Amino acid sequence: MDRDPIEHQEFVDRKRAARMRRVDAMPAELRELVHEYGLPVVRACLDLGVRKPNQIRHLVETILDEFLPTRGSYSKQGLRTEKG
């Protein structure tokens, strides 16, 4: 079943606009987290009742550090070290 490309693009555009409206309606601190970690991650935290931006950041950073231990610029063998 072939879709009309114009209708499909209009559907995609409507979905994109709705997503942006949801992000724009968020407080600035949450928008910053969406920019940093993505809407699905922030939405999952909110869906589970984690509402405070600092708690969301802590949760996401803890998970990222556990699964990507060398992601820090100055990490050594999975441990973050001080610059210098």
Q: Is the dihedral of CA 15, 47, 36, 32 positive or negative?
A: positive
Query: pLDDT by residue (tens digit) across 18-75?
Result: 999 999 999 999 999 999 999 999 999 999 999 999 999 999 999 988 888 677 655 5
Cα(10)–Cα(14) distance, integer angstroms: 6
pTM: 0.70
Domain count, the chain: 1
Q: How many CB atoms lie within 10 A of CB 62?
A: 10
Instruction: Give me the domain span that covers residue 16.
Output: 5-80
Name the DSSP letter for residue 70: T
Total residues found in the chain within this entry:
84
Q: Is 76 helix (H, G, I), strand (E, B) or coil?
A: strand
Cα(42)–Cα(56) distance, integer angstroms: 7
